[in-house]
Every structure is written in structure tokens, then in C-alpha cells.
Structure 1
Amino acid sequence: MAAILWGMESAPSVTSKALAILAAFTAQQPSLTLSEIGRRAGLPLTTAHRLVGELTDWGALERDDAGRYRIGLRLWEVASLAPRSLGLRERAMPFLEDLYEVTHENVQLAVRDGFEAVYVERISGRHAVSVVSRVGGRLPLHATGVGQVLLAYAPAEFQDQVLATTLKAFTKFTIVDPKRLRQVLAEVRRTGIAVCDRMVDPGTLSVAAPVFGPAEGEDAVAARVSTGAAVVAALSVVVPSEDADRVGLAPAVRAAARGISRALGAAP
């Protein structure tokens, strides 16, 4: 992990070492001891001890009563200021809440970052189906409803890059054949809806739609479309796969996505 952050051409800087420490924490291992941090970050224990202390003093890390470390609230506070999620989440929340009231299932909002969909918001009820996604979590674009939407509206060159990689199969239903995935993406663009049935979890189905907004910069998260707007995010609802009313869910998801798009200033 540390080698990925540092590269091979030069000695790691202090910043690289600090980033390696933060990258040591994962959803599967959110709590680590000092020695575990040093080992996972590829740092001597003395160096890890010094940097972990500085990160803890600043609030990027927190230490519990057992002496284990976790990501601190200060880091979450800074991350919440990311422009792609801040205004988007604020404007999207009323429509996410409306969609949740209609379905009482998982409602999710995601943006593209590299070859992955990053979930920036999620509403889930106590009786909603269990999902593998989480706020701040990442999943590959090819295997999720939001991911397929973001990939379908991405530039052709980017699609080629994704399809040239080895696509991970989460279940036997995950589409890993590039030719078939191209057909699916074309259908998503034609209908404005992506339906992923049991592709990440064998018991769930997601219905997703694009969220449009004014394009910013050369990489506006997705390709500029004919209306002059760009797909800046994707919205989905995740329901139990068995007896899922995918036809009935599509209009509700599409309407919520259009509402967010209008709130972001996208053209009708």
C-alpha cells in the first residue's frame, strides 16, 4: 500500500508517510494499533509513533481507551467540504428524502472518481434491504446501478479504459464481458435508466438515473451532453431483488434525479 503512494523513483516525503498512515484504515479495519498502522503503512515504528501522534493532536486520528486508533472527526469535517459533494448533497437531500418516503428502501447518491463510484449520501430505513455500500465507500463502475449510469455518460475514451481492465465479478450475475457491457451502457443512455439485478449482492436490485449539472472544467465527472449540461452524479434506489417492481421504480427514480438536476441549475 505504501509503495503505491510513494512510487519507486524517490524517497517518501513526510506528506507521503502521513497519507500512507491514513490509507492504512479501511472499512474492514477501521480500528488499528500503532504497530498495525506502522506495518500497513510500511513505516518504522518510531516514525509511525511520531506521525500518528501529530495526526492525533490535529484531530485526523482518535485514540480510544484500548489504545487503538480510528479516523478522527476533524478529517471528516475537512472531507465534507469537498465541492463535488457539498453543494450536491445539500441540493439533493429533499429529493432523496421524497424518494425514500415513496420506497422506504435504500436511496443513494454517488459521483465518479477514477474507475469507481463514490457514495456521497445514503438514506436507509430500519427495514430496508441490507446493502454493501456506505457513505464514503467505493464500488467499481461496471457492477452497480449508479456506476453504470456514470460510466454510460462518461467520455468514450474513458469507457475504453475501463473496459480494457479486468472487470471484477461479485456474483454470477455481474457483467464482466466488455462487449455485453457496451450494449448495457448504450441501453442506459437510450433510456436514462440503469437496472442492476444481483450484480454486487445476490439479494438486491438497483434502479439508477443520471443527475445533470453545469459542466465544470475538462473533466466534469462525465461527458458534456447535447443540452450543455453534464452528468455530475447518479441517483439510485436499492430494493430486494425478489419481486422487485423495476418498471414501477423507474419513474420515481427518474423524477427525483430530474428534481436534483433542476436544483443544480441544469437545463430542462
Structure 2
Amino acid sequence: MTAVDDTERYRAPALDKGLDILELLADIEGGLTQAEIAKALQRTPNEIYRMLDRLVRRGYVGRTDGDRYELTLKLFALAHRHPPMRRLVAQAMPHLRAFTRRSLQACHLAVFDRGRVVVIAQVESPGYYGLSIRVGATVGLYNTGSGHVLLAFRSPAERALMAAEYERTVDDTGEPGHVADRLVQVRARGYEAVPSWQTAGVHNLSAPVLGPDGSAIAALTCPYLAPLNQPTAPDMPQTIHLLLEAAGAISALMGGPASAAGDPAGG
């Protein structure tokens, strides 16, 4: 039996039809009518009617007032329920360790996963002092450097979905009014640097780890403590530079761009 014959033997026509529709709509802005979908897929409208109906009922496709069909954000949500955490952590850890050695500060890696901002890796400061957050801890989306970076380097539609999932998960009261303007600034400069809302004397320094499409798949964050009586220790600007270098190196390993700055529109 040839490879082609073996492939045909295990065909699932209904599944193929549904995937064809999803892949077609993924490349179209503004959606398509049932007739346009049928024509593009070289099928009759009756052939795809039931499949469209099921995709709408399951929430993968939405139907507009003009009888056009377009993808919802459900596929985006599914894709982010099981991100490749193990590979990300394995690739990132050498750079986290190098950053802590050079900066004399602690750092951690956080991702947005199923409605929560979760710390998935951390390395303590090699010096006598440092602030570390345990792996598995959840942090705020709106009041942390990690949260700001994860929001800033996503599209407006993705941010809306993240906000809805986060609020549903943690019973939050909603996005603070100042955050939207702040995200524009974060996106433009390529990182966040802000006094901690939780701990006095700490600054949240956070840079994005970018995927192939330029979106943040993680935030590399340093809870920066200003060194006293240590003239050789990096200051905050130097630490930010080291953080951006580390985040850029991890981004390159993930197939993303090495630099995050340059899109003031935040879209």
C-alpha cells in the first residue's frame, strides 16, 4: 500500500471539512458568506451548512448581522491553554542564571496561562540580598511589570480576551483606567520599569519574551533592589540593559525578534 493510499484510508471527511473552513476564515478579514465559503472550498452551500452551524454553536465561528461568518477568539484561547512551558523554561534558564550573575539581582519568568499570570521559573540573586517569587505563584495582570508586558505586546483583541479570562478567574473588578495609556508607553520603549505596588523599595523591571509573530509569550521580570555600598553593582539603567539582552536572547531561541521596541500603537 502506498503512502497516499494509507493517508486516504484514514480520512475523516467531516473533520477535513471543518478544518478547511477554519483555515479559510483564518486568512480572511471581515468574514465570508456561506456561498463564498462554498465557492472557495469548491463545495456546494448545502455541503457546508451543517458544519458551519456546528462551528457557530461550538463558538469557533461567529455569524455577523450581514450573514457573514468569521473566526472568534476561541482558537486563540485554546492555543494558550497548553503553551510549550517545558521547552520555554529549558531554553530560558541559562539566560536567567547569566542575568542574575551579571546584575546581582533575582529574576523570574511569568506567562499568561488559563486566565492567570503564573511564575514558571525563577533564579535567586547570587548576592546577600534579593527578592524572589516562588515558581507556581500567581501575580496580578494590571498591577505588576509582568502583567503590563504580557498585555502590551499583544493585539487589542488578544488583550480583551486576556482581560476577560483573568477577571473571570480571579474575580477582579476590571482593568484600572490608567493601564491602557501605560501599555502604549511600555510597548513603545520595549520594557516596563515601575515601582512595585506590593513591596516598598522594589522596582518591577520587566521585558517581553517574543514569539515568531512578535507577541509576548512570557515576561522576564527583575524585582530590582537598589544596591547600597556596592560600587561595582549595576544600577537600574544597567540592569534594564542586561534584562533586555537576556529577554532578546530567549526570544531569538523562540523564533521571535530580539528587540521589542518600536510600535507605539500597541497593536
Q: Shorter-chain-normalised TM-score: which range?
A: 0.5 to 0.7
Give 1:230 shift.
2.6
How many residues are aligned here? 166
1-structure distance, mates of 2:157, 2:83: 25
Equivalent residue number for residue 60 of structure 1? none
**CA 1:160–1:265 in structure 2 vs 1: closer, same or farther (change >3 Å)?**
closer
Give 1:153 shift.
1.6
- For the 8 Å contact 2:206–2:222, the answer to whether it is kept is yes
Equivalent residue number for residue 229 of structure 1? 214
SS at match of 1:117: strand
Q: Is 2:261 the counterpart of 1:264? A: no
Give 1:111 shift.
0.7
Equivalent residue number for residue 120 of structure 2? 120
Tell me the TM-score normalised to structure 2 length.
Answer: 0.55
SS at match of 1:97: helix
Task: Give RMSD over aligned pairs.
Answer: 2.8
Give 1:198 shift.
2.2
Give 1:167 shift.
5.8
More displaced stretch, 88-97 vs 117-126 = 117-126
Gap runs ≥5 in structure 1: 1-81, 169-175, 215-227
- Deviating beyond 6 angstroms after TM superposition, the runs of 4 or more aligned structure 1 residues are none
**CA 1:93–1:177 in structure 2 vs 1: closer, same or farther (change >3 Å)?**
closer
Tell me the TM-score normalised to structure 1 length.
Answer: 0.55
2-structure distance, mates of 1:241, 1:179: 30
Q: Deviations over 1:194-236 (max 9, x none)?
A: 113121222311211110123xxxxxxxxxxxxx333211101
SS at match of 2:84: helix
SS at match of 2:250: helix
Q: Deviations over 1:55-110 (max 9, x none)?
A: xxxxxxxxxxxxxxxxxxxxxxxxxxx65210001111111111011112111111
- For the 8 Å contact 2:142–2:176, the answer to whether it is kept is no
The structure whose Rg is larger is 2
Letter in 2 for 1:145: G
Give 1:115 shift.
4.2
More displaced stretch, 120-129 vs 205-214 = 120-129
2-structure distance, mates of 1:194, 1:145: 6
- For the 8 Å contact 2:153–2:187, the answer to whether it is kept is yes
SS at match of 1:111: strand
SS at match of 1:232: strand
SS at match of 1:200: coil
